Amino acid sequence: EEAAQQVATIADKVLGAFFPPFQLGEHEFHGGASIGVTLFREEHLSLDVLIGQADSAMYRAKSEGGNLVRFFDAALQAALLERSAFEADLRQSIHRNQLKLVYQPQCRLDGRIFGAEALLRWQHPELGLVPPARFIPLAEEDNFIVELGRWVMREACQTLAELAQDSATRHLIIAVNVSPRQFLQPAFVSEVHDLLQLTGAAPGRLKLELTESIFARDIDDIAQKMQALHALGVSFSLDDFGTGYSCLAYLKKLPFDQIKIDQMFVRELPNEPHDAAIVHAVIALSKSLEIAVIAEGVETVAQRDFLDHNGCRDFQGYLFSHPVDKPELMQLLAAATV
Ligand code: C2E
Ligand code: MG
Ligand code: MG
């Protein structure tokens, strides 16, 4: 599927190159092309067979009107069409009002809520509720993630401003996931600044979650942006700690306020000895670096107790609460705020 996707991208570029009119002598000409593609893997198909397959795909492209790319494999063709429809729908999701944020409480041991992570949901008219794992990676392939991220940030700031209306919820911190591509936008800092001003949200209540994949980028640029946002009062959490490009040197270089222990390490606590050792070490590390630590994906009392005994005081997971929508969050808060 990945190969097909790459071929489709290249074939589209080739078609695009045919599109502009060209001059032959005094005459302007318009060209076009129909492209047939076949893919092969280990099978030792002869060249003739492969060309034959591509040829028949090309005739399909022509018969469907030309200036098209078609694949020999019907299933592949269907999958590609489905994907491009999905992507087209995704691009419409913002102005069709299909997006919403849900909030997962972040709690102390006794269940009191001190914050919530904003998690994006897409309500698709036919597919139902699409989880972010299915569409964030697609959005991350191009700049659409920037638009999506902007929408999330605005929503989250709006919620913060609403929470500030009530003395019982004013202290709540909202954590927002930020993709590397979004964070690396030159205007990211000023956009966040403007949104905070516009909505009246308190910067000290906004926490940005960055994942380790950001370490693969220009570290000086990241540090500079983090410092600029810190100066506004915004804080930072390192999401999915230990699952990606963990480089401990970056922890020293970048001003993170919190480390999130990934659910991958929490899942089999307390019995899996390696996970237990890693979690123990991460908590100790955060203590000595004076960075706060929170565990995510906490589902059982045994997991919570292991984390607590090892010095982790903040928790997020189904044991405490599933992600809930805003009205439900408000209800939970009325009952259990720090
Ligand atoms: P994440 O930031 O690590 O979010 C935690 C994920 O774990 C969420 O899944 C949450 O619903 C799930 N979770 C929470 N507690 C438990 C638990 O006790 N057990 C289990 N098994 N799972 C739990 P979700 O909402 O599907 O989000 C998946 C990922 O999508 C997020 O991982 C984040 O990387 C990304 N994402 C979500 N919203 C946004 C967004 O607004 N912007 C960006 N860039 N990424 C987002
Ligand atoms: Mg997160
Ligand atoms: Mg995470």
Instruction: Give the DSSP H or E segment for 209.
Output: strand 206-211
291 class by beta-carbon count within 10 Å (0-12 exposed, 13-18 middle, 19+ buried): middle
How far is Cα 12 from Cα 3, in angstroms, rounded to an integer? 14
- Cβ(179) – ligand 1 distance below 6 Å: yes
What is the DSSP pairing of strand 27-29 with strand 22-24?
antiparallel
The residues with which 24 forms a beta bridge, in sequence order, are 27
* Residues flanking ion ligand 3, Cβ below 5 Å: 239-240
Residue 264 has pLDDT above 60, yes or no: yes
Instruction: Give the DSSP H or E segment for 214.
Output: none
- The number of C-alpha atoms within 13 Å of 201 and in the hemisphere containing its C-beta is 29
Residue with CA at minimum distance from ligand 1 atom 37: 119
- Cβ(177) – ligand 1 distance below 6 Å: yes
pLDDT > 70 fraction of the chain, expressed in percent and rounded: 99
Q: Are 174 and 192 in contact (CB under 8 A)?
A: no
20 class by beta-carbon count within 10 Å (0-12 exposed, 13-18 middle, 19+ buried): exposed
What pLDDT, on a 0 to 100 scale, did the predictor assign at position 83?
82
Which ligand 1 atom is the nearest neighbour of the CA of 211?
34
3-state helix, strand, coil in the chain (%, to 5): 50, 20, 30
Tell me which ligand sits closest to the C-alpha of residue 240: 3
| Average confidence (pLDDT) over 201-212 | 95
Residue 337 has pLDDT above 80, yes or no: no
Q: Which stretch of 40-54, 94-108, 285-299 has the lowest confidence by average pLDDT?
A: 40-54
What pLDDT, on a 0 to 100 scale, did the predictor assign at position 272?
94
- Cβ(159) – ligand 1 distance below 6 Å: no
* pTM, two decimal places: 0.82
How far is Cα 175 from Cα 336, in angstroms, rounded to an integer? 18
DSSP 8-state class, residue 324: B
Which ligand 1 atom is the nearest neighbour of the CA of 260?
3
Which ligand 1 atom is the nearest neighbour of the CA of 319?
18
How far is Cα 86 from Cα 111, in angstroms, rounded to an integer? 39
Q: Which of 296, 325, 329 to mutate to test the pocket of ligand 1 (most atoms within 8 A of CB)?
A: 296
What pLDDT, on a 0 to 100 scale, did the predictor assign at position 202?
96
**pLDDT per residue over 279-292, tens digit each?**
999 999 999 999 99
Note the residue count of the chain.
Answer: 338
DSSP 8-state class, residue 138: H
How far is Cα 15 from Cα 9, in angstroms, rounded to an integer? 10
245 falls in which pLDDT band (50, 70, 90)? low
Q: Which one, of 321, 317, 269, lies nearest residue 294 by Cα?
A: 317
**pLDDT per residue over 28-40, tens digit each?**
888 889 999 999 8
- Cβ(138) – ligand 1 distance below 6 Å: no
Cβ atoms within 10 A of the Cβ of 127, count?
11
Residue with CA at minimum distance from ligand 1 atom 15: 317
The residues with which 122 forms a beta bridge, in sequence order, are 99, 130
Residue with CA at minimum distance from ligand 1 atom 17: 297
Q: Are 228 and 189 in contact (CB under 8 A)?
A: yes
* CA 83 / ligand 2 centre spacing (Å): 26
Tell me which ligand sits closest to the C-alpha of residue 241: 3
Number of DSSP helices (H) and strands (E) in the chain, helices first: 13, 13
pLDDT > 90 fraction of the chain, expressed in percent and rounded: 67
What pLDDT, on a 0 to 100 scale, did the predictor assign at position 24?
87
What pLDDT, on a 0 to 100 scale, did the predictor assign at position 43?
76
* Residues flanking ion ligand 2, Cβ below 5 Å: 177, 209, 239
How far is Cα 154 from Cα 200, in angstroms, rounded to an integer? 11
CA distances 193 to 144, 186, 285, Å, are 21, 13, 32
Q: Which of 90, 100, 136, 259 to mutate to test the pocket of ligand 1 (most atoms within 8 A of CB)?
A: 136
CA distances 228 to 129, 185, 221, Å, are 36, 14, 11
Residue 259 has pLDDT above 70, yes or no: yes
